[in-house]
Amino acid sequence: MLAKRIIPCLDVKDGRVVKGRSFVNLRDAGDPVEAGKAYSDAGADELVFLDITATLEARKTILALAARVAEEVFIPFTIGGGISTIADARSLLSAGAEKISINTAAVKNKPLITEVSEAFGNQAVVVAIDAKRVGSTGFQPVGKNTGYKPVPPKWEVYINAGTTPTGLDVIKWAKEVEALGAGEIMLTSIDSDGHTAGYDIELNAAVNEAVSIPVIASGGAGGPEDMLAVLTEGKADAALAASIFHYGTYTIAAVKDYLRNHGVHVRS
Partner 1 sequence: MLVIVDYGLGNLRSVQCALRRVGQEALITSDAEKIATADGIILPGVGAFWRAMENLREAGLAKVVLETARNGKPLLGICLGMQLLFTESDEHGRHEGLGLIPGKVRRFAPGLKVPHMGWNEVKHGTPSPLFKDVADGAFFYFAHSYYVDPDDSATVIGATDYGLTFSSAVQAGNVFGVQFHPERSGPAGLAMLENFCRLC
Pairing of strands 139-141, 125-134: unpaired
Task: Please state the closest distance from residue 97 (CB atom) to partner 1, in A.
Answer: 8
Which residues share a beta bridge with 238?
A: 5, 216
193 is catalytic: no
Tell the smallest beta-carbon distance from residue 212 to partner 1 (Å).
5
Q: Are 174 and 207 in contact (CB under 8 A)?
A: yes
Q: How many residues bind partner 1 (CB under 8 A)?
A: 36
Output 193 or 237, the one with its CB closest to partner 1.
Answer: 237
Please, what is the Cα angle at 185 between 133 and 190, to 5 degrees?
A: 30
Q: Is 130 a catalytic residue?
A: yes
Of residues 227-246, those binding partner 1 (CB under 8 A): 237-238
CB burial of residue 33 (10 Å; 0-12, 13-18, 19+):
buried
Cβ burial of 145 (10 Å; 0-12, 13-18, 19+) is exposed
Distance CA 59, CA 111 (A): 22
Catalytic site residue from 130, 200, 226, 237: 130
| Complex with partner 1: residue 6 or 52, whichever CB lies closer | 6
Of the pair 158, 245, the CB lying nearest partner 1 is at: 245
Sign of the torsion formed by the C-alpha atoms of 204, 207, 211 and 215: negative
26 forms part of the interface with partner 1 (CB under 8 A): no
User: According to CB under 8 A, which residues from 43 to 102 bind partner 1?
Assistant: 45-46, 67, 70-71, 74-76, 93-98
For partner 1, the binding residue among 110, 154, 175, 267 (CB under 8 A) is 267
Quote the least distance from Cβ 40 to partner 1, whole Å.
7
Please give the positions annotated as active site.
Answer: 11, 130
Residues of the shown chain interacting with partner 1 in the complex, contacts defined by CB under 8 A: 1-5, 40, 45-46, 67, 70-71, 74-76, 93-98, 118-124, 183-184, 212-214, 237-238, 267-268
